[in-house]
Structure 1
Amino acid sequence: MNYFKTALLLAALTGFVLVAGYLLGGQSGLVIALVAALGMNLFAYWNSDKMVLRMSNAQEVGPNEAPELYGIVQGLADRAGLPMPRVYVIDEEQPNAFATGRNPENAAVAATTGLLRYLSREEIAGVMAHELSHVRHRDTLIMTIAATLSGAIGMLASFGGLMGGGRDSEGRPLVNPIVAIAAMILAPLAAALVQMAISRGREYEADRMGAEISGQPLWLASALAKLHAGTQQIPNRAAEANPATAHMYIANPLSAGGMASLFSTHPPMEERIARLEAMAGQMGGGYRSAPRPNTNPWTTAVPQAPRRGPWG
């Protein structure tokens, strides 16, 4: 997804905040919406990384505590021309990972213990390259802004009945009650759809750039197949308790399915793997196809990609 399209979608989210505020509360609602959006974004800009890491119970590690993970991240960061991010480990059996931080100088990457246990060194490198791509493109800041704007819309909708919109000199409501009710229902839905479009586009781009950083698209493709199976079978306690953080993970950590999956912020895993396989074919090198997402990596051997990269 290009930056122009992302900017348009963020502008649309901001517009939804203001329109929702006006429809639900008139002029006073508009002011409240504007203040809420600005306040939430300023707070998120400076504190989102600390909040997400704390909610995930992430523990910072160094070369002594997690030498292999730290070495992989360090080698990939050098290859990508990025400052070395802080490295965290989350005590969760579900294999997953995310990146956070407002810019590359204040970035952090986090991996679950399940990811370190179930994935090979090459697959871990593919996942970490994906996360460093998010850092490189400042996606972590973009996604934080999108999440806080969507949160502001949800907050306005929740308190819409209390705002009332005021009354004119004859005691009539300034805002049509039917319009207000429609706004309470439709505004959060529209915001969720816009956030989904932003998130899915950034994930595709991070897959592409991550594959370029590692030089091996199938490392990530193979990892995604395992992550998909793992997230279907193993719950993520921290993410389930704080679903607002779900969009930051490389694979959707939530166990909800059915209609909820239609509004997932993550693109279909089959499509992500197919794009990486096509990229591997264009790069050449005799790669084998990655396992499909319905493969169960806990009982089925996964073909491993050749072992080469910046870590030796």
Structure 2
Amino acid sequence: MNYFRTAILLAGLTGLFMAVGYLIGGASGAAIALVVAAATNIFAYWNSDRMVLSMYGAHEVEAGTAPDLHRLVAELAARAGLPMPRVFLMDNPQPNAFATGRNPENAAVAVTTGLVQSLRREELAGVIAHELAHIKNHDTLLMTITATIAGAISMLAQFGMFFGGGNRDNNGPGIIGSLAMMILAPLGAMLVQMAISRTREYAADEMGARICGQPMWLASALAKIDNAAHQVPNMEAERAPATAHMFIINPLSGRGMDNLFATHPSTENRIAALQRLTSQFGGASTPSAPPRDGSGGPWGGQGPSRRGPWG
């Protein structure tokens, strides 16, 4: 189903791309935009995950460099019935995480240093389980391609201000049209992102809770991450807002109830849904834990030890 949604998304964003090209350069602009959109779609399918990881300065960690984090991801991936994804660490003080990759066989989970330093091990397990749920649901292709193409549309719309405003032959949109295009084209791409984000986040929360076996681990993590996201800036996300929907919590912050311009459902609503789900787990149930190995925290012995059911 998500592959079909991805195809619809690519077609819709390609159409929007062509519309912006038409406003900039008429029929020839639309034709050029079609070629550029096709190239962008191909590039996004095969390389968007690498591009997003590079954008955030993520570096891959192995069992030898971050043994506990790597082990935790492996344990949860096994519980989810998934291949072991690649694990990346972002040097960013804001606690947050995202998953990327075109399919479960080519997936990656990326977490910030702020996340592993601020969460207890069971809370980190809840976050990673949520990201694995996105991989299992094949959300990551949709999320990453959306970020790539939406960012391209935003850039193209801004070019319209410089190349479309002064068209003497009236083949372009003029200054008024260029201004409208700068606003409406990125808004159209953003609306697609928002429509995707809300449903997939609730679904990933539920599946993630089932993967780790305890909804309140994720609920507790969401509360902490949301609070920190309002206080600790994520400068990379500020420079690339088209990627904001990929994170477990909006890295650009955002408060209050669900609304038209929120990239994620409200954290309060997500926590309430997880609290309701807890009753299906018999209250404070916990999963059967893997054997303890006596190691430190989930980030390879760096930082204080956080003992928990996964420790």
TM-score category of the 2 structures, normalised to the smaller one: 0.7 to 0.9
In structure 2, runs of 5+ residues without a counterpart are 292-309
Q: CA deviation at 1:222?
A: 0.9
Per-residue Cα deviation, 1:34-61 (whole angstroms, up to 9, x for no partner) = 1222222222222222222222222222
Indicate if the aligned counterparts of 2:230 and 2:254 stay in contact, CA closer than 8 A.
Answer: no
Bigger shift: residues 173-182 or 18-27:
173-182
TM-score (norm 1): 0.80
Q: Relative to structure 1, is the Cα distance of residues 119 and 62 closer, same or farther in structure 2, using a 3 angstrom cutoff? A: same
Bigger shift: residues 223-232 or 59-68:
59-68
1:16 aligns to what SS in structure 2?
A: helix
1: CA distance, partners of 2:182 / 2:240: 23
Q: Relative to structure 1, is the Cα distance of residues 85 and 176 closer, same or farther in structure 2, using a 3 angstrom cutoff? A: closer
1: CA distance, partners of 2:89 / 2:6: 30
Q: Relative to structure 1, is the Cα distance of residues 268 and 172 closer, same or farther in structure 2, using a 3 angstrom cutoff? A: same
- What is the identity percentage for the equivalent residue pairs of Structure 1 and Structure 2? 60
1:45 equivalenced with 2:11 (yes/no): no
2: CA distance, partners of 1:175 / 1:250: 40
Q: Which residue is 2:184 aligned to?
A: 186
Bigger shift: residues 241-250 or 57-66:
241-250
Q: CA deviation at 1:3?
A: 7.0
Q: Which residue is 2:101 aligned to?
A: 101
> What letter is aligned with 2:155?
M
Picking from 193, 203, 206, the partner of 1:205 is: 203
Q: Relative to structure 1, is the Cα distance of residues 113 and 6 closer, same or farther in structure 2, using a 3 angstrom cutoff? A: same
Cα RMSD of the aligned pairs, angstroms, is 3.0
Q: Relative to structure 1, is the Cα distance of residues 182 and 92 closer, same or farther in structure 2, using a 3 angstrom cutoff? A: closer
Picking from 282, 285, 290, the partner of 1:285 is: 282
Indicate if the aligned counterparts of 1:25 and 1:166 stay in contact, CA closer than 8 A.
Answer: no
Indicate if the aligned counterparts of 2:103 and 2:135 stay in contact, CA closer than 8 A.
Answer: yes
Q: What is the number of residues matched between the two proteins?
A: 289
Per-residue Cα deviation, 1:267-305 (whole angstroms, up to 9, x for no partner) = 211111111111222x14224xxxxxxxxxxxxxxxxx7
Q: Which residue is 2:116 aligned to?
A: 116
Bigger shift: residues 37-46 or 156-165:
156-165
2:276 aligns to what SS in structure 1?
A: helix
Per-residue Cα deviation, 1:238-272 (whole angstroms, up to 9, x for no partner) = 333444433221112225789xx963422211111
Q: Which residue is 1:144 aligned to?
A: 144
Q: Which residue is 1:291 aligned to?
A: none
Q: Relative to structure 1, is the Cα distance of residues 241 and 16 closer, same or farther in structure 2, using a 3 angstrom cutoff? A: closer
Per-residue Cα deviation, 1:210-234 (whole angstroms, up to 9, x for no partner) = 1122221111111100111111222
2: CA distance, partners of 1:273 / 1:240: 26
Q: Which residue is 2:304 aligned to?
A: none
> What letter is aligned with 1:106?
N
Paired residues for 1:14-25 under 5 Å:
14-25=14-25
Bigger shift: residues 222-231 or 154-163:
154-163
1: CA distance, partners of 2:173 / 2:227: 48
1:232 equivalenced with 2:244 (yes/no): no
Bigger shift: residues 185-194 or 247-256:
247-256
1: CA distance, partners of 2:180 / 2:287: 56
In structure 1, runs of 5+ residues without a counterpart are 288-304
Q: Relative to structure 1, is the Cα distance of residues 176 and 62 closer, same or farther in structure 2, using a 3 angstrom cutoff? A: closer
1:159 aligns to what SS in structure 2?
A: helix
TM-score (norm 2): 0.81
Q: Which residue is 1:299 aligned to?
A: none
Q: CA deviation at 1:6?
A: 6.5
Q: Which residue is 2:264 aligned to?
A: 266
1: CA distance, partners of 2:180 / 2:57: 38
Indicate if the aligned counterparts of 2:82 and 2:104 stay in contact, CA closer than 8 A.
Answer: yes
1:233 aligns to what SS in structure 2?
A: coil
Paired residues for 1:218-229 under 5 Å:
218-229=216-227
Indicate if the aligned counterparts of 2:213 and 2:287 stay in contact, CA closer than 8 A.
Answer: no
1: CA distance, partners of 2:209 / 2:233: 27
Per-residue Cα deviation, 1:3-24 (whole angstroms, up to 9, x for no partner) = 7666655543332222222233
> What letter is aligned with 2:183?
I
2: CA distance, partners of 1:39 / 1:286: 51
Q: Which residue is 1:214 aligned to?
A: 212
Bigger shift: residues 107-116 or 152-161:
152-161
Q: After the TM superposition, list the runs of 4 or more consecutive aligned residues in structure 1 that deviate by more than 6 angstroms.
A: 1-6
Bigger shift: residues 185-194 or 214-223:
185-194
